[in-house]
Amino acid sequence: MQIGLIGLGKMGGNMAERLRRGGHDVVGYDRDPKVSDVGSLKDLVERLEAPRAVWIMVPAGDPTRATINHLSELLAAGDIIIDGGNSHYVDDQKHGAELAARNVGFVDVGVSGGVWGLENGYALMAGGTAEDIQRLRPIFETLKPVGADGFVHAGGIGAGHFAKMVHNGIEYGMMQAFAEGWELLEATDIVTDVPGAFASWRHGTVIRSWLLDLLVRALKEDPELAELKGYAQDSGEGRWTVQAAVDHAVPLPVITAALFARFASRQDDSPAMKMIAALRNQFGGHAVNAVDGQTGLGADSPGADTVPPVEAEN
């Protein structure tokens, strides 16, 4: 299948490569001409055969809105725009209605997998009509992990990003629990091998997970996390999850506390937040603040985005 892909940073670039490996014809556009296949959005649209499908992987908010608005003027009836960033589901519903007036389809896709998705596949949560989802099925099948799971048509427009928003809220709570457990183990002399304790939980326990694997990896690289400051950013999705809970009167004490803990990390050098920062760097290549005041991406990171990074967990 042929598809246009806009935004070839950490996520978008790896997704384009996975699609090409799967036999798809990908025409990529990025502001960095070194990685771009075309010189402009107009060039990209002209390279694609109708009916076109264009996947956007740029930062949520104004960059995504501007890209969709520009594309809407270039595309024709029967084309589809896919927003694979971390947009607010309310924005999706607005975009869907505006594009429908031009007979252009719209699908929102929450994407999880971070810098590891190229090899492992991406978990995909899609929102849109059944017809649009079915048309894009070959793309989804290539991007998702091998096996029965990893993709869901979550519902109508907005459902994909709503599901991803909740996913990220859960992620906040899980990371916070691991981080607090690490801080407690470090605070006592009873356990003398803290990294070993975490490593022992990786098999045969109910808390084994990919996050636990990444935690063990982070401690192997820096057992005391001495090279990190206890400062962790929050994504818009964490805030949106808590706001949605308020809107629907659903109690989310763990996720809300995890969000507030990140706010607290910006006030002092929190030990628990060192682990949050380490985990974000491990799974997403997110920048970390070192104790020497420098900001970096970590030794194993694939490098900075060629567009401003989407500030969210993936």
Q: Residue 65 pLDDT more than 50? A: yes
22-52: b (≥16 Cβ within 10 Å) or e? eebebbbbbeeeeebbbeebeebbeebeeeb
Helix (H, G, I), strand (E, B) or coil at 241: helix
User: Percentage helix, strand, coil, to 5, in the chain?
Assistant: 50, 15, 40
- Active-site residue, from 144, 164, 229, 274: 164
Q: Domain for residue 106, yes or no?
A: yes
- Domains held by the chain: number: 2
Supply the pLDDT for residue 303: 40
119 and 179 fall within a common domain: no
In a domain, 15, yes or no: yes
Residues 100 and 174 in one domain: no
Q: Provide the pLDDT confidence category of residue 99 given band limits of 50, 70 and 90.
A: very high
Phi, psi for residue 77 in degrees, rounded to 5: -55, 135
Measuring CA to CA, how many Å separate 52 from each of 12, 139, 225? 18, 13, 48
Mean pLDDT of the chain: 91
Q: Are residues 59 and 177 in the same domain?
A: no
Residue 307 has pLDDT above 70, yes or no: no
Both 8 and 152 in a single domain?
A: yes
Domain shared by 142 and 252, yes or no: no
Residue percentage of the chain with pLDDT more than 90: 77
Residues 248 and 184 in one domain: yes
Domain of 182, in residue numbers: 170-296
Of the ranges 132-136, 189-193, 277-281, which one carries the lowest mean pLDDT score?
277-281
Q: Does 164 qualify as catalytic in the annotation?
A: yes
- What Rg, from alpha-carbon coordinates, does the chain have? 20
Check whether residue 28 and residue 132 sit in a common domain: yes
Indicate whether 303 belongs to any domain: no
The answer on 143 and 192 residing in a single domain is no
124: helix, coil or strand?
A: strand
17 lies in the same domain as 93: yes
User: pLDDT tens across 31-51, in order?
Assistant: 999 999 999 999 999 999 999
Domain presence at residue 7: yes
For residue 308, cis peptide bond before it (omega within 30 degrees of 0): no
Apex 145 CA angle, 142 and 147, nearest 5: 100
Residue-wise pLDDT for 216-261, tens only, equals 999 999 998 988 888 888 878 899 999 999 999 999 999 999 999 8
**Residue 221, both tokens:** 């690289």
Q: For residue 5, which amino acid is it?
A: L
- Kindly state the tokens that stand for 72: 């809407």
The residues near 196 (Cβ < 8 Å, ≥ 6 apart) are: none
Residue whose structure tokens are 């005041």: 293
Please report whether residue 9 resides in a domain.
yes
Q: Is 70 part of a structural domain of the chain?
A: yes
Catalogue the E-assigned strands of the chain: 2-6, 25-29, 53-56, 80-83, 105-112, 123-127, 151-155, 288-289, 295-296
Cβ atoms 229, 292 nearer than 8 A: no
Check whether 278 has a pLDDT greater than 80.
Answer: yes
pLDDT-derived band at 266, boundaries 50, 70, 90: confident
CATH number at residue 191: 1.10.1040.10
